Structure formats: structure tokens, C-alpha cells
Amino acid sequence: MSFQKIDDLGRKLEALEHALAILGADEATHMAVGGGEKRAEAMASLAGMYHRQATAPEIADWIADAEAQKLGEEQQAAVREFRRHYTNLTCLPVDFVERQTNARMRCEQLWRDLRAKNDWAGFLPALDGVIALAREEATMRADVLGLEPYDAMIEQHDPGARTASIGPVFSELKGFLKEFVPEALGVQEERAARRPLKALSGIYPVEKQRELGLAMMAATGFDLSHGSLSVSHHPFCGGVPSDVRITTRYRTSEFLSALMGVLHETGHALYEQNLPKEWSHWPLGKARGMAMHESQSLFVEKQLGRNPAFWRWALPVIAKHLGEAWTLEDILPHVHRVERGLIRVDADEVTYPLHVILRYELEEDIIAGKLETIDLPAAWDAKMREYLGLSTIDTPGDGPMQDVHWAAGAFGYFPSYTLGAMMAAQQWAALTREHPAADSDLAEGNFDKINDWRRDKIWSQGSRWSTPELLERATGEKLEASHFINHLRGRYGEV
């Protein structure tokens, strides 16, 4: 039985994924500093075993045979996702993947060194090489998938997402934000004039912040018997669904950044912990792509965690753990702080999409061959001045050298962040239509109905539908900028 062969293979691959996921999380949290070299060797070797086993030629026959078998609907879906996975893994020639891996690794190493030095000239040749290979990759994937080249790259991160539908939505959002950012900043200034900002400072021991984080995780639905909270340099959500590892980092001088980080990663973790367990060894059982994953983290961080109703419940919890009684009027200006800045990862929810749309537009032109690597600093600067009134022409480290994504060859990834933000707002809008008491639930720290909705609509679906289909089934609509726009207006606009 060919389906059985696929099923058995899935279990072997799951074991290797398990090892890679735990070794990866361990590396960032518990590994001894000198253990890195051997860890890298071991993980490269395991990744090689994974690739060899997942791309074996006989699998093509198993899939074809399984497609011809009489299978139940779930198994058909499993085979469909297995094929998608297999096609994406095998459509590039091995020698191309090797060349690309080398070019990416070299470019990432250079990036680590040269970004802080703003050395664009030194970085350019390596990035140019990675971009040439990305264009080649996009063309090859496009041929196999029957898509446009940039769409074929987006497909790797968000199955079913296409520029034809993303483009108009991003355009609408951009048009709105170019006018709205000044408005939100004006509102903020006005409020600060009426009530001066209480500085976010104090002494908050790490152990107490950790206890607060664990309490918030548990309250928002994180299953502490299937996951844990550690410390790492960069916060992440890793591990496996049966043991989700999330991390944060602490500053003893303030508690908000660690706490918001914990909420963000908890959002990712809830998705992983609630995926269908019986499918865990199939691609079908995985989360549906980056944008949907980001929608789950942003749902908890932004839709819930920056909602004033949430803070009615949260402030006493914080007071209990940290011994400091903030008022809603004093904390919300920090939770809702808006600022024009150069750095994407530091951006707030109002300005963040402009950072992403800038990259999306540049990426699209890069892959299409309309923009050359050498012209990136000027193109970046022009958009940055237009969207946020800031210039990066003298600081390429804050411009096209800002993120590791392009150095690592990850084109088509950036849109996920803002697609996620929009999808989170659309999910919250749909949820509150069905469950109008969601805000008062939040104010009571009651996440049950909110999580029930999300489990039913998103988490339990695994990779059953494409990203756009999953969103439409969950919310009753295709992707719409209006929900996110209304969300921002309501939280940051003039009343």
C-alpha cells in the first residue's frame, strides 16, 4: 500500500524534524558556548539525512500510486500536502542547492560583519550573487509550479498567496498609512500634552518577570505541560508541538518588552500546541505557512495584548507579581507608543506595515529583474523618505543591509509579517461579530471562548487549506485591508 509507505516515511521524517527542532532550541538556550561547532556539524548531517530521505526518487511513485488509491478525505488531503512538500523539495537540482547554500552562508557571514560598519560596497558583490541565484530559483520554481517567479517564492512561505491579491491590499493599506501615521503621531502628542508620560522604569528582578510571563502564558491558554519558557538572545518559538519552547529576554529596568515578547511567542505556541495531533507526522499536520503563523502571534500580542480591555485584567496580575500598581492611563501610552523609525523589528503596529511594503515592492522588482542590486540603497532611501520621512542613504546598515533575510536568500518572506497583521485583525473582527462579549471576556482574563473560536477555525485545520482559503473559511471573507485599517483607526486615530 503506497499510502502506508508515505505514512511510514512521515514518521521517520518527524523523528528527524523533532531532533532538529529540539537541537535548535537547545542551541539558543542551554548549549554550552563551546558546543557550537559540533552542534552545527550534527545538525547539518541530520538535515542531510532528512533531505535524502524526503527526496528519494521512489517517493514520486508512492505519491502517484497513493493518488490513485481509494482513500478517505483526510488521507487524500495528506497525500496532496505530501506532493506539495515533495515538489517544493525536489524541483531544484542538487548542485544548484549546493551552490546556493554556499553563497547564502558566505553572504550571511559577511552581513554579520559588515552591517554594523555600513559597508555596502563590501557587501554588494555577495548580495548580488545571492540575488542572481534567487532569480534563478524563482524561475525554476515558477516553471514547475506554473506561477510567476515572485509568486513561486511567496508560495514557499504562504501557499496560495499571490501578488495579484496581495498587491491591491498592500496598496490600499499604504495609501491609508501615509496619511494615518502623521494623524496617530498628532493624537499621541496631544494626549501627552494633556497627561505627561510616566516613564517606564523601575527595578524588576528577572525571576519575578519570569513568573509573570508564565502566569500570562497559562492564562492565555499555553499548556505548560507541553512547553516551557526560557531565555535566549533573540526571542523565538521553537521545539515541537508536544514540547513548545518559547523564549524571551529580560531587562531589569522595565517589564513591558519582555512581557510583550512572551505574549507574541505564546501566540505562535498556541498554534503549534493545538495542531491536530493525529496528523503530526504528515505535512498536513503542520501550521499553514508564515503569514498564518504570524497572524496567530500578532493576534495574541496586538489584538489581545494591546487591547485596553486586556489591560484591565492584566494590571492587577502585574501588580501581584511585580508589586507595582500601574494605572491604565499610565501604561496604555507605552503599550500604544507610535514612532517613526528606521528599524523594522523595533517598529510599532502602525508604522510596521510600511517597512514591510517597502521591502515587498523592492523584492518584487528585484525578482522581476527591474531593480538591480547596485541600485538598492537609492531605491530604499526614496521609499523610506516617501513613506516615513526618513533617509538611509548614508546608513545602508539601516537600509538594504538591515535584515538578514535577503542575505539568506529568503525572498517572498517579508510580506508574511503584514499579511499576518491584517489577518489577525480580520480574525478578531470575525470573532467579535460571532462573540460580541469578547472584550468583556478579555477584561476578566477569560480566554476560553476566544481560544475555542481560534482552535475551531485555524488551529485544528493544520495545512488543510491554502492560506487564502483558510482565512476565508475562518472569517467568511477574502483578505481585506479594512479590518486592519479600522483596528488602527480605533486604537490610534482621532476620536
Q: Does 211 bind a second copy (CB under 8 A)?
A: no
Which C-beta is closer to a second copy: that of 242 or that of 482? Answer: 242
Retrieve residue 162's grid coordinates.
499571490
12 binds a second copy (CB under 8 A): yes
**Residue 238 vs 399, nearer CB to a second copy:** 238
Give the shortest CB-400-to-a second copy separation in angstroms. 36
Reference 289, options 396, 391, 157, 439; nearest CA is 157
C-alpha cell at 243: 514540547
Q: Is 15 in the site for a second copy (CB under 8 A)?
A: yes
Question: Do residues 445 and 313 lie in contact, with contact meaning Cβ atoms separated by under 8 Å?
Answer: yes
Report the nearest approach of a second copy to the CB of residue 112 (Å).
21
Dist CA 318 CA 316 (whole Å): 5
246: left (phi > 0), else alpha (psi -120 to 50), else beta? beta
Alpha helices in 274-307 (DSSP H): 289-298
Distance from C-alpha of 65 to C-alpha of 63, rounded to nearest angstrom: 5
Q: Could you tell me how many residues of this chain bind a second copy (CB under 8 A)? A: 40
Residue 214 contacts a second copy per CB under 8 A: no
Quick one: cell of 220?
Answer: 492565555
| Interaction of residue 394 with a second copy, rule CB under 8 A | no
3-state secondary structure of 247: strand
Contacts of 367 (CB under 8 A, 6+ apart): 134, 135, 138, 149, 150, 153, 411
For residue 265, indicate whether it is catalytic. Answer: yes
Binding flag, residue 116, a second copy (CB under 8 A): no
Q: Which is nearer to a second copy, 19 or 187 (CB)?
A: 19
Point out which span in 222-230, 343-351, 374-382, 422-430 binds a second copy (CB under 8 A).
Answer: 222-230
According to CB under 8 A, which one of 22, 185, 332, 408 is a site residue for a second copy? 22
Q: Which of 137, 265, 294, 363 is an active site residue?
A: 265
Q: Which three cell numbers stand for residue 271?
A: 498554534
Nearest Cα residue to 21 out of 237, 314, 181: 237
224 binds a second copy, rule: CB under 8 A: yes
For a second copy, what does the binding mask look like between residues 292 and 331, x meaning CB under 8 A?
----------------------------------------
Query: Quick one: DSSP state of residue 199?
Result: P
What's the CA gap between 275 and 358, in Å, rounded?
33
Residue 227 engages a second copy in binding (rule: CB under 8 A): yes
Compute φ and ψ for 237, nearest 5 degrees. -120, 115
Residue of the chain from 39, 178, 208, 455 that contacts a second copy (CB under 8 A): 39
Choose between 273 and 461: whose C-beta lies nearer to a second copy: 273
Provide the 3-class DSSP secondary structure of residue 254.
Answer: strand
Interaction residues for a second copy, span 240-259 (CB under 8 A) = 240-244
Cite the active site residues: 265
Q: Which residues bind a second copy (CB under 8 A)?
A: 11-12, 14-16, 18-19, 22-23, 26, 29-35, 37-39, 41-46, 49, 223-228, 230, 240-244, 280
